[in-house]
Amino acid sequence: MASIAPDHATDLLLVIDVQNDFCPGGALAVPGGDEVVPAINGLAQGFAHVALTQDWHPTDHHSFASSHAGRAPFDTVDVAYGVQVLWPDHCVQETEGAAFHPNLEAGHAELIVRKGFRREIDSYSAFFENDRRTPTGLAGYLRERGFRRIFLAGLATDFCVAWSALDARREGFEAVLVEDACRAIDMEGSLAAATADLEAAGVSLVRSTDIAIA
């Protein structure tokens, strides 16, 4: 494919949840999660505008298996907004696990979107909580700043990155997912399912080598 040159006026790099708990040794480690850091650092050098998301849970968050007696991580329960996967306790507010990976170089990021801080609602997407009705405010911010195309990278491809990319499309933005700057959990075919949904929604799937970094 032809090389993509970021537009410094209307493109933004959205880095999803590159936090210690999602990297090797963390409470909910994505396989190879720390491998995204060099790729994201390289991408960030080529974007004038960068935003980060940060999972930011209270200690008793409803998505934690520890909040449900007799339940184990990766069990599922029915909640008001559908089926909820139960996770190990992770990205608890003000803990080292919730901190960004120490080697992430995105000091010029203009916005950090914290999500999952409401006890009763999990949050994968950078745009909406999982009830699909409660917005984070990101879409309005992007519109007011005049951004049109969102490049996405981070963790995990088949959950928070994919949900964010799909919501970017629903909100009327172009969305480009940089595959080698992401890693997946791939739980019971979740990566293949997410990829099919992304392609159907018109999300462009590229590699970092397809992006011309000046």
Q: Are 136 and 148 in contact (CB under 8 A)?
A: no
Report the alpha-carbon distance of residue 89 to residue 57 in Å, rounded: 9
The dihedral over CA atoms of 179, 171, 138, 38, expressed in degrees to the nearest 10, equals: 10
What residues are annotated to the active site?
Answer: 17, 115, 160
Report the alpha-carbon distance of residue 122 to residue 61 in Å, rounded: 8
What 8-state DSSP symbol labels residue 13? E
Q: Which residues on neighbouring strands pair with residue 114, listed in sequence order?
A: 54
Report the alpha-carbon distance of residue 90 to residue 160 in Å, rounded: 14
CA geometry: angle 211, 200, 177, nearest 5 deg? 25
Q: Quickly list H helices, 146-189.
A: 162-170
Burial 182-198 (b: 16+ CB within 10 A, else e): bbbbbeeebbeebbeeb
Report the alpha-carbon distance of residue 14 to residue 142 in Å, rounded: 11
Report the alpha-carbon distance of residue 134 to residue 29 in Å, rounded: 27
Report the alpha-carbon distance of residue 130 to residue 84 in Å, rounded: 9
